[in-house]
Amino acid sequence: MIIPRTSIISRTLRAGRLHHTTSCSSKNVVNIVEVGPRDGLQNEKGVIPVDVKVELINRLGSAGTRYIESGSFVSPKWVPQMAGTAEVISQMERLPDNHYAVLVPNQKGLDNLFTLLDSYTPSSSQPNPPVNEIAIFTAASDAFSRANTNISIADSLTRFVPVVRAALERNLRVRGYISTVISCPFSGQVDYKQVRDIAKELMDMGCYEVSLGDTVGTGTPASVAEMVEEVKKSVPVENLAGHFHDTFGTGVVNVLTALQHGIRTVDSSVGGLGGCPYSPGATGNVATEDVLYALQGSEYDVSYIDLEKIVDIGWWISEKLARENTSRAGRAVKARRLREAKQAEKAKL
């Protein structure tokens, strides 16, 4: 059922929405939003130490990543992997031109963030505030929304109105997520008109960008193109992002399809971290390494991020988590390095 255009979202918020534009001037620069430290880690097994999370974020920043999801103010009872987010964002290095976001599921999560921000004192070593952006999330499927947050889509949107308003009043950017934009693990195919209407509601609420998430990873170039074109009828494409999981190996080609249809922001996860706890078999986000490699030599520019460093980070975090590195490019680069090292050793003999 398509959500009607009702009073769910106060139209007065339009006037209060902060306007943010990307720092990249070229229309073909692709903004990579690194979601590994949040969306990736929260779906990995076990509790990840704070120092590992901090080092992951710092390494990603040093590799040129400008947009980093750094944690989530959710209850550690439900998402133990996100425990210690306050410590993480307090200890991580904050580069002056970077955006560091945290996921905020409700008013309580936002209050916890405000408590941290209120206690922050700038210093010579850390002159920048812990975060400058929050993310909120809903779904395009009521069944998924209820499984994930125990409330309907409409109720989730209503709940976020005061959250967004309060964040904007504190000069925090707000990014919106919509899960299951292609299909739902419980109810099947999603109505793209529903995705369009929800994206419009999030924009009216005050989000500067809406990330369209193929959470299950069933998307194909055809379905992604159809979905994006439908959403573009109500939301400017420059305010949309693509978020693709690689369950069926179509993550990279879906990224390319989204770019061909005008999207210029893509979510990805170093080493292919992540998954979906409500979708058996769903793998992590498309790997950052794979996206960077695929765009080399193309009309799309991601040269501000160092692919070789990202490969190193992917292997480092995978080893820390005792998991398989699912990045195809990461594995290929490592194999090339080993081959070159062996050839260099032979040449010395």
Q: Which residues are catalytic?
A: 276
240-244/265-268 β-pairing: parallel
Q: What one-letter code names the amino acid at 247?
A: T
Q: In terms of C-beta density within 10 A (0-12 exposed, 13-18 middle, 19 or more buried), how is residue 13 classed?
A: middle
Residue 184 burial (CB count, 10 A): 24
H helix count then E strand count, the chain: 12, 10
Greatest Cα-to-Cα distance within the chain, rounded to the nearest angstrom:
77
> Residues near 33 by Cβ (< 8 Å), separated by ≥ 6?
67, 68, 69, 211, 241, 265, 266, 267, 268
Residue type, 245: H
Residue 102 has φ and ψ, to the nearest 5°, of -130, 145
> Amino acid letter at 104?
V
- What are the tokens at 185? 């693990």
Q: How many CA atoms lie within 13 A of 335 on its CB side?
A: 7
Evaluate whether 280 touches 250 at the Cβ level (below 8 Å): no
DSSP class of residue 66?
Answer: -
Give the integer Cα–Cα distance in Å for 272 and 286: 6
Where residue 82 falls (left for φ over 0; alpha for ψ -120 to 50; beta otherwise) is alpha
How far apart are alpha carbons 114 and 116 in whole angstroms? 5
Interatomic CA distance for residues 228 and 240, integer angstroms: 9
Q: How far apart are CA 178 and CA 312, in angstroms?
A: 31
Q: Are strands 133-139 and 265-268 parallel, antiparallel or unpaired?
A: unpaired
